[in-house]
Amino acid sequence: MGLALAVASLPAAAITVDGRIDPAEWAQARHITDFVRVQPIDRAEPALRTEAWLLATPQGLAVAFRAEQPPGVPRTTQRTRRDQGGALDRVNLMVDFDGDGRTGYDFMVTVAGGISDEVITSERNFNTDWDGHWHRAVQQDEQGWSVEMLVPWHVAPMARPEGGERTLGIYLDRVVGSTGERYGWPFISYQNPSFLSAFHKVQVPHYEQSLLAVTPYVVGVHDAVGGGSDFDAGADIFWKPNGQFQLSATINPDFGQVESDDLVVNFGAVETFFGDKRPFFTENQGLFDVPFGAGNSRLLYTRRIGGRADDGSGSGDVTAAVKLNGSLGQVRYGVLAAAEGDEAGRDFFALRATRDFGAQDLGTMLTHVDRPFLDRTATVYSVDHLWTPTPAWVVRTQAVASSVDQSGERSDDFGWQLRADQALGDGWRQQFYVLHLGDELQLNDIGYLDRNNFNYLRYELARRRSDFAPGSRYASWETRWAVSNRRNGQGTVIAEAAAINRYAERRDGGSEFWDVSAWSSGHDDLITRGNGVVRMPEKLYLFWERSRPRRGPWAFYGSARAAGEGLDGASVMGLQLTVQPTLHLSDSLSLQGNLALQHNPDWLLWRGGTRLGSFRADTVRAGLNLQWQLGHRQELRVKLESIALDARLRQAWQVGPGGQPVPTSDPIPDFSLANLGFQIRYRYELAPLSDLYVVYGRGGALLEEGSRSLADLLGDATSLRDAEQLLIKLSYRFAN
């Protein structure tokens, strides 16, 4: 049953967003007081009173929260950068502007005025890459704090409703940072299989807003290693004439990251996945976020655009890109196109459309990449279907096909997946998942697929408990049992596996997680990069992690991992320990350390052809992050990260008949590695989505034969200087 928010006669400036909840301003709003506890999921009466007001105005959707928090309840008053998570006192407004369960938006405000905005897809997948333009204000007093928000109607594409009313999906909640409790309305949880589609349906008058925003930028870079300097300029354009159409375009875009990626050491066969914070690719990107396969696999991986050039000369030079989002009747659509310059430039295209049919939802996607330098074109087709026959069931199916033409030779293949979730009641749920990936299925010209030639079958049973005594350390936990089978397309058994894990919410506001996984003996068909499969013994994985929120000046995270995954199997276990303490010198200044020590006595690596090497490896990862919030407009971040790795050969192997590793005396050398990443970044917010950045970065990598002590490698890392540059970037958003 919907809630009517009748506001047709409101004046143009109905709400002043100042954090003070004026009864006269909110007199026509829907007043919500029936919040219940949703974390832990027990529907208990909140220990702290929470109220909210909802009001649709011509200027946007207005929401106010009043959170009681008397002096006896600690407040997490540290300032945070945008999209920073953690155990914080905060409120969330989550909105599905079309009410169809396809795409939602989360707007979060902390008690200290920090914000986060996220796009919600696939029921409960939150992505913080998107940054929207919306308004908020916070006021504190002795007995609690208040928040007012105004989300303009132009913040997202919306289908045209019928009858002059729009159906929104709404979810509101408040989190108590010191205990981790969450009070929500309605009684749903992102920890359940159905979340986005279960938002409360609210009918509001249909309002539309037009928007034209132009964000020109200038950037200057000085290369201290190469000795040169570069200057560039460009612009991002955003135009929304009405609710049913949005256009984003970028001319000569600056696709250089002002945020540095974490250092990664990857000697494996699977490519490392990185997120994307580039503004053009985060604006209204939710429609294109189509996962397929396990892990991070997806049809559109925007880091491909402007990524490593096909001629190996560096990053691709994107000359222009355009993106359209809109709706035609009940069909939502999106079009993305990007072109790179130079002889090795590529052209990227993506088309997406979805249609909601009530209990069923149908989507389709087409991508195409033209790579002239490689004489290669790649096209991918996808159809996905979401079915919710009852509130307890969510069934997702998807079929994908690829067609690749390389130098006149064509390869075609397909894949499909089915995922079915059922809530069984009394805290129990189950999931069934099956995945098939053909051995010629190719998505990585524009997407991300960690592997093809794969068949995966998995069943999971889970139970959540929240009926612990008040004196217990735990507020709730969920235990999951799973069994799975992995084979490639030729029927070769990769492994059969069983796992049990538990995620627990603790009463101190922190969390705890442990996992035990056992793999049967089987084969590794990726490690030799196409030179045959390798017979592998059984594997065993143990993992534990604990996070504790701020107590006084300190917060803490720690983890431990043990793994037996080499040719000696589970009988020889490696160990990794990680500690990550955070010292809050004040509410605006924090210093976080990161130290990880790893010993792997049986590290199996490919050494070319059918050769393998088992190494005894030691690794240390050390880092230090300083974050200083200088008011609400300025931010200084210093990030230092270093990795040292020493690997000593235990045994050389040759892949023999049937994939059996055969010991050899091949002269495979020991090796060592040092890696450094250092960045100082200053940001000044001139206006919403308008920033001045001054960024100094330095880094380098050293990989050499021979064994060396970790202390020497860490010392050498500080002198690495493969790259060193100073970047100044100014962008300013002009909007009507």
Give pLDDT, residue 391.
Answer: 83
User: 38 with 184: CB under 8 angstroms?
Assistant: yes
User: Could you tell me which CATH class the domain 3-209 is placed in?
Assistant: mainly beta
Three-state helix/strand/coil letters over 502-521: EEEEECCCCEEEEEEEEECC
Tens-digit pLDDT profile for residues 50-65: 999 999 999 999 999 9
Question: Over 80: is that where the pLDDT of 284 sits?
Answer: no
Give pLDDT, residue 255.
Answer: 53
Q: Which of 519, 427, 517 is nearest to 481 (CA)?
A: 517
Give pLDDT, residue 724.
Answer: 94
356 membership: H or E segment, kind and range: strand 347-356
- Kindly state the DSSP code that residue 41 receives in the 8-state scheme: B
Task: Give the pLDDT mean for 364-381.
Answer: 97
Burial class (CB in 10 A: 0-12, 13-18, 19+), 707: middle
Give pLDDT, residue 3.
Answer: 41
User: 598 with 574: CB under 8 angstroms?
Assistant: yes
CA–CA gap between residue 232 and residue 332 (Å, rounded): 36
pLDDT-based confidence at residue 142 (cuts at 50, 70, 90): very high
Name 405's bridge partners.
Answer: 377, 410
Domain ranges of the chain: 3-209
Q: Which of 154-158, 247-251, 509-513, 612-616 is predicted least confidently?
A: 154-158
pLDDT-based confidence at residue 12 (cuts at 50, 70, 90): very low
Task: Give the pLDDT mean for 567-574.
Answer: 94
Maximum distance among all Cα pairs of the chain, rounded to whole angstroms: 86
In 10 A of CB 617, how many CB atoms? 23
pLDDT-based confidence at residue 186 (cuts at 50, 70, 90): very high
Tens-digit pLDDT profile for residues 236-269: 999 988 878 889 998 887 655 666 778 888 899 9
Give pLDDT, residue 257.
Answer: 60
Percent of the chain whose pLDDT exceeds 70: 97
Question: Over 90: is that where the pLDDT of 85 sits?
Answer: no
pLDDT-based confidence at residue 2 (cuts at 50, 70, 90): very low
